[in-house]
Amino acid sequence: MKKFLIVGLGNIGEKYAKTRHNIGFQILDALAKDQDVRFETEKLGDITRFRYKGKSFILLKPSTFMNLSGKAVKYWMTKEKIQLDNICIVTDDKNIDFGAIRIKTKGSAGGHNGLKDIQEKLQTQQYNRFRFGIGENYSKGRQIDFVLGSWSKEEQSQLIERIPVATKAIVSFGTDGINNTMNLFNGK
Protein backbone atom coordinates (compact mmCIF):
# COMPACT_ATOMS: atom_id res chain seq x y z
CA MET A 1 0.00 0.00 0.00
CA LYS A 2 1.35 3.40 -0.98
CA LYS A 3 1.96 5.68 2.03
CA PHE A 4 1.86 9.47 2.16
CA LEU A 5 3.19 11.72 4.90
CA ILE A 6 1.23 14.96 5.19
CA VAL A 7 2.87 17.45 7.53
CA GLY A 8 0.97 20.47 8.77
CA LEU A 9 3.25 23.19 10.08
CA GLY A 10 2.41 25.18 13.17
CA ASN A 11 3.40 25.96 16.72
CA ILE A 12 2.22 23.95 19.70
CA GLY A 13 0.34 25.55 22.56
CA GLU A 14 -2.99 27.23 23.08
CA LYS A 15 -1.63 30.73 22.42
CA TYR A 16 -0.84 29.75 18.81
CA ALA A 17 -3.87 27.55 18.13
CA LYS A 18 -5.96 29.98 16.10
CA THR A 19 -3.19 32.02 14.50
CA ARG A 20 -2.48 32.43 10.80
CA HIS A 21 0.88 30.68 11.17
CA ASN A 22 -0.94 27.54 12.38
CA ILE A 23 -3.09 27.00 9.28
CA GLY A 24 -1.16 23.77 8.63
CA PHE A 25 -2.39 22.36 11.95
CA GLN A 26 -5.92 23.65 11.30
CA ILE A 27 -6.12 21.99 7.89
CA LEU A 28 -4.87 18.66 9.26
CA ASP A 29 -7.32 18.87 12.17
CA ALA A 30 -10.16 19.35 9.66
CA LEU A 31 -8.96 16.42 7.54
CA ALA A 32 -8.71 14.17 10.61
CA LYS A 33 -12.26 15.16 11.58
CA ASP A 34 -13.49 14.41 8.03
CA GLN A 35 -11.90 10.96 8.24
CA ASP A 36 -13.12 10.37 11.81
CA VAL A 37 -9.61 9.82 13.21
CA ARG A 38 -7.91 11.37 16.23
CA PHE A 39 -4.36 12.58 16.76
CA GLU A 40 -2.18 10.93 19.36
CA THR A 41 1.06 12.32 20.73
CA GLU A 42 4.05 10.32 19.56
CA LYS A 43 7.72 11.12 19.08
CA LEU A 44 8.24 14.69 17.80
CA GLY A 45 4.57 15.35 17.12
CA ASP A 46 0.92 14.43 17.02
CA ILE A 47 0.12 11.68 14.52
CA THR A 48 -2.96 10.10 13.05
CA ARG A 49 -3.52 7.73 10.16
CA PHE A 50 -6.31 6.84 7.76
CA ARG A 51 -6.80 4.87 4.56
CA TYR A 52 -8.60 6.13 1.52
CA LYS A 53 -9.00 4.45 -1.87
CA GLY A 54 -6.19 1.99 -1.17
CA LYS A 55 -3.76 4.68 0.03
CA SER A 56 -2.39 5.18 3.52
CA PHE A 57 -2.21 8.75 4.82
CA ILE A 58 -0.11 9.67 7.86
CA LEU A 59 -0.87 13.14 9.21
CA LEU A 60 1.82 14.80 11.33
CA LYS A 61 1.67 17.97 13.39
CA PRO A 62 5.26 18.45 14.61
CA SER A 63 5.76 19.36 18.28
CA THR A 64 9.16 20.89 17.53
CA PHE A 65 7.79 24.39 16.92
CA MET A 66 7.68 25.83 13.43
CA ASN A 67 11.34 26.74 13.01
CA LEU A 68 12.56 23.20 13.83
CA SER A 69 9.99 21.26 11.79
CA GLY A 70 12.63 19.45 9.73
CA LYS A 71 13.61 17.18 12.61
CA ALA A 72 10.10 15.73 12.88
CA VAL A 73 9.68 15.45 9.09
CA LYS A 74 12.97 13.58 8.68
CA TYR A 75 12.27 11.28 11.63
CA TRP A 76 8.79 10.22 10.43
CA MET A 77 9.86 9.99 6.80
CA THR A 78 12.62 7.57 7.83
CA LYS A 79 10.55 5.64 10.40
CA GLU A 80 7.67 5.07 7.97
CA LYS A 81 9.96 4.52 4.94
CA ILE A 82 8.18 7.18 2.91
CA GLN A 83 9.69 8.36 -0.35
CA LEU A 84 10.34 12.07 -0.78
CA ASP A 85 7.74 12.21 -3.60
CA ASN A 86 5.07 11.06 -1.13
CA ILE A 87 5.60 13.88 1.35
CA CYS A 88 3.58 17.09 1.35
CA ILE A 89 4.21 20.02 3.69
CA VAL A 90 1.15 22.18 4.47
CA THR A 91 1.98 25.73 5.52
CA ASP A 92 0.95 29.36 5.51
CA ASP A 93 2.21 31.86 2.94
CA LYS A 94 1.90 35.62 3.35
CA ASN A 95 2.85 36.17 -0.30
CA ILE A 96 -0.37 34.54 -1.51
CA ASP A 97 -3.82 36.12 -1.28
CA PHE A 98 -5.90 34.97 1.67
CA GLY A 99 -7.46 31.54 1.10
CA ALA A 100 -5.72 30.84 -2.21
CA ILE A 101 -3.88 27.54 -2.59
CA ARG A 102 -0.53 27.04 -4.29
CA ILE A 103 0.88 23.53 -4.58
CA LYS A 104 4.42 23.04 -5.84
CA THR A 105 6.90 20.19 -6.17
CA LYS A 106 9.99 22.25 -5.37
CA GLY A 107 11.19 25.74 -4.68
CA SER A 108 12.80 28.00 -2.16
CA ALA A 109 11.68 28.44 1.41
CA GLY A 110 10.43 31.92 0.47
CA GLY A 111 11.52 33.32 3.82
CA HIS A 112 9.54 30.70 5.77
CA ASN A 113 11.68 29.41 8.64
CA GLY A 114 9.81 26.11 8.92
CA LEU A 115 10.47 25.34 5.25
CA LYS A 116 14.10 26.45 5.63
CA ASP A 117 14.61 23.91 8.40
CA ILE A 118 12.92 21.14 6.40
CA GLN A 119 15.15 21.87 3.39
CA GLU A 120 18.22 21.83 5.61
CA LYS A 121 17.29 18.49 7.24
CA LEU A 122 16.20 16.82 3.97
CA GLN A 123 19.13 18.37 2.05
CA THR A 124 16.86 19.29 -0.86
CA GLN A 125 14.32 21.80 -2.11
CA GLN A 126 12.61 19.04 -4.11
CA TYR A 127 9.65 18.18 -1.92
CA ASN A 128 5.95 18.84 -2.29
CA ARG A 129 4.58 21.83 -0.52
CA PHE A 130 1.04 23.06 -0.12
CA ARG A 131 0.90 26.76 0.62
CA PHE A 132 -2.28 28.32 1.98
CA GLY A 133 -2.44 32.08 1.46
CA ILE A 134 -2.82 34.30 4.49
CA GLY A 135 -2.28 37.55 2.58
CA GLU A 136 -0.22 40.60 3.46
CA ASN A 137 -2.74 42.71 5.32
CA TYR A 138 -0.28 44.28 7.76
CA SER A 139 1.64 47.52 8.20
CA LYS A 140 5.35 47.76 7.50
CA GLY A 141 7.32 46.16 10.31
CA ARG A 142 4.28 44.29 11.66
CA GLN A 143 4.77 41.01 9.79
CA ILE A 144 5.45 38.89 12.89
CA ASP A 145 2.42 40.29 14.71
CA PHE A 146 0.26 39.56 11.66
CA VAL A 147 1.52 36.01 11.07
CA LEU A 148 1.30 35.11 14.77
CA GLY A 149 -1.99 36.99 15.13
CA SER A 150 -5.46 35.49 15.29
CA TRP A 151 -7.73 35.34 12.27
CA SER A 152 -10.10 38.28 11.88
CA LYS A 153 -13.84 37.56 12.08
CA GLU A 154 -14.09 37.98 8.31
CA GLU A 155 -11.21 35.55 7.72
CA GLN A 156 -12.74 33.04 10.15
CA SER A 157 -16.02 33.08 8.23
CA GLN A 158 -14.16 32.54 4.93
CA LEU A 159 -12.06 29.71 6.40
CA ILE A 160 -15.28 27.73 6.77
CA GLU A 161 -15.35 27.52 2.96
CA ARG A 162 -11.59 27.45 2.28
CA ILE A 163 -10.45 24.68 4.64
CA PRO A 164 -12.66 21.99 3.01
CA VAL A 165 -11.09 22.86 -0.35
CA ALA A 166 -7.67 22.41 1.24
CA THR A 167 -8.55 18.99 2.70
CA LYS A 168 -9.84 17.83 -0.70
CA ALA A 169 -6.56 18.92 -2.28
CA ILE A 170 -4.57 16.86 0.22
CA VAL A 171 -6.61 13.73 -0.46
CA SER A 172 -6.25 14.41 -4.19
CA PHE A 173 -2.46 14.52 -3.76
CA GLY A 174 -2.55 10.91 -2.56
CA THR A 175 -5.20 9.57 -4.90
CA ASP A 176 -4.75 11.58 -8.12
CA GLY A 177 -1.06 12.53 -7.98
CA ILE A 178 0.72 15.83 -7.56
CA ASN A 179 0.38 17.05 -11.17
CA ASN A 180 -3.39 16.50 -11.35
CA THR A 181 -3.77 18.08 -7.93
CA MET A 182 -1.82 21.16 -8.98
CA ASN A 183 -4.01 21.48 -12.08
CA LEU A 184 -7.21 21.09 -10.08
CA PHE A 185 -6.43 23.26 -7.05
CA ASN A 186 -3.72 25.85 -7.73
CA GLY A 187 -5.19 29.32 -7.52
CA LYS A 188 -8.52 28.04 -6.23
Q: 139-169: per-residue pLDDT in tens?
A: 777 788 888 899 999 999 999 999 999 999 9
Dihedrals phi, psi of 66, to nearest 5 degrees: -50, -50
Active-site positions read 21
pLDDT above 70 covers a percentage of the chain that reads 100
96-122 core/surface letters (b: 16 or more CB in 10 A; e: else): bebbbbbbeeeeebeebebbbbbbebb
pLDDT given at position 110: 79
- The answer to whether 103 and 181 are in contact (CB under 8 A) is yes
CB count in 10 Å sphere of residue 157:
10
CA distance 44 to 69: 9
To 10 degrees, what angle do helices 23-34 and 153-176 make? Answer: 60
CATH superfamily of 2-185: Peptidyl-tRNA hydrolase (3.40.50.1470)
